Each structure stands twice: as C-alpha cells, then as structure tokens.
Amino acid sequence: MKILATYNIKGGVGKTSTAVNIGHLAARDDLRVLLWDLDPQGAASFLLRVRPRVKGGGKALIKGRRELDAAIKGTDFDRLDLLPADFTYRNLDLILDSTKKPTERLDRLLRPLADEYDLIVLDCPPSISLLSESVLHAADILLVPLIPTTLSVRTLDQLSEFIAGFDGHKPKVLAFCSMIDRRKRLHREIAEQLPEERTDVARTVIPALSLIERMSVERAPVTAFAPRSAAARQYVALWEEVAKLGL
C-alpha cells in the first residue's frame, strides 16, 4: 500500500481536484483506493456526494482502526472509497498533539489498511501545522500543485528542505504546475522551464479549465463525467507520471 498526499501550504491551487481525479484514475486502473478528505471544508466529500460528517468526529478517528473502518463510505465509483471530512477536523492539530508521537500517528493509523487498499490519497487542508507534518511523515509521495509564480517555487524549495531534514522515511516529492492560465506569459514561461530545470516537477501541467471548475456542479471527477476532455487527458498524463514513482 502506498500513501499519496496532495499538499500545498496555499489554498485554491487545485489540491482537491487533483486528489479526486487521481483517486478516480487509480481506481479505474484496478487499484483499491481510499481518499481521506482531511480538509474541514469538505470539498472532496462534496464532489463525491458524501455528506461531510464522521460519527465521533476527528477525535474518534485518530483513536483507532475500528472507528476509521466505520467511517469509510463507498463512492459511486468501483474501488474508490472515501473517508469523509468533518468540521471537527479543524481541531486535528490539537487532537494529534494529545497523542504520543503525534507526527507518527497518521502513519500508524493508516498502515493497517494495507490489506484493504492499494493506495491512500490524503487531501490536505492548506496549512503548515502538526497535521501537515504528520501527513508528510506518513506519505510515500507528495503531489504538490504549484501556481507558476516565483513565490510558489520558493515555497517548494522550503518544503523540500524541510523533508530533507527528516530522519528515516522521506516522501518522494512531485510538484506540477496547476491552474495554468495560457494567456499569462509568466505562467507559460515557468510551466515550460520548471520541468526542464528540476527533476521534482512533472512535465504534465493542469490548465485552468472551466470543465475542472464544473466538477462542483456535476459532483464527480472530470475523468468520470468528461473522460475524453482535455482536462481529463491532462489528469491521465499526471497520473501516469505519478504511477511511475512506484505505485
């Protein structure tokens, strides 16, 4: 079982769209996938038509496997399950802080799911916190959507340095340019240069397309409701690059 997290300190960069589409594509490729919507806003849960509510809240989930199992919901797609968001997740930092070795807690909670799932996708809230740190320790792959700006690249460097300082297990980092606006010269330039200059940036870019925004109307992955669209093709290409990292 591999754990993949979509992570960025900033919000609105396409983490949830990526988590939902990548989760759907992995399930379509016969992997058994669990997507955990860790964001209390519950966008991934909304997109998959699951009510963002967990019995006992985040506190119950962090306690153990039984509570985790009971909270999992099947989505409308074969092999894709969801651990829904809950508003109490806003306090996950505090809940984790009350446990022993909080940065290892998420990993210890998820590893026993290996007999049921081949891939766990963590859709993280935009923040830098104890929860993010726990996610970074648990993940095998970090998928980082980047708005192609100089500041975003600087943030990626900071993230890579932070991970390099970990003892033992370190996730592989794969960033990709997200929400590319082709009309903006800077977007075009950075999107072309970055994959040439850095090995931790994917060649695939995800453009800012209205069809991706439409996911919230259709309440489904774009790879499901418009599988032949340009947007879906880009997610397929991104998934293929992710899979090459060892899924």
Q: Is 98 exposed, middle or buried (0-12, 13-18, 19+ CB in 10 A)?
A: exposed
Report yes or no: 76 and 108 within 8 Å, Cβ to Cβ: no
- The Cα 57–Cα 67 span in angstroms is 10
Quick one: which of 12, 49, 64, 240 contacts other proteins (CB under 8 A)? 49
Q: How far is the CB of 206 from other proteins (least distance, A)?
A: 26
Choose between 72 and 130: whose C-beta lies nearer to other proteins.
72
Quick one: which of 30, 51, 111, 216 contacts other proteins (CB under 8 A)? 51
3-state SS, residue 122:
strand
Per CB under 8 A, contacts with other proteins among 54-73 are 71-73
The amino acid that residue 147 corresponds to is I
Choose between 149 and 216: whose C-beta lies nearer to other proteins.
216
219 binds other proteins (CB under 8 A): yes
Residue span 68-107 as binding mask against other proteins, x where in contact by CB under 8 A, dash where not: ---xxxx-x----x--------------------------
Choose between 96 and 121: whose C-beta lies nearer to other proteins.
121
Report yes or no: 120 and 3 within 8 Å, Cβ to Cβ: yes
The amino acid that residue 47 corresponds to is L
Element (H, E) at 5: strand 2-6
- The Cα 234–Cα 170 span in angstroms is 27
Choose between 51 and 203: whose C-beta lies nearer to other proteins.
51
Q: Which stretch binds other proteins (CB under 8 A): 48-56, 161-169, 194-202, 208-216?
A: 48-56
User: Which residue ranges make up the site for other proteins (CB under 8 A)?
Assistant: 49-51, 71-74, 76, 81, 219
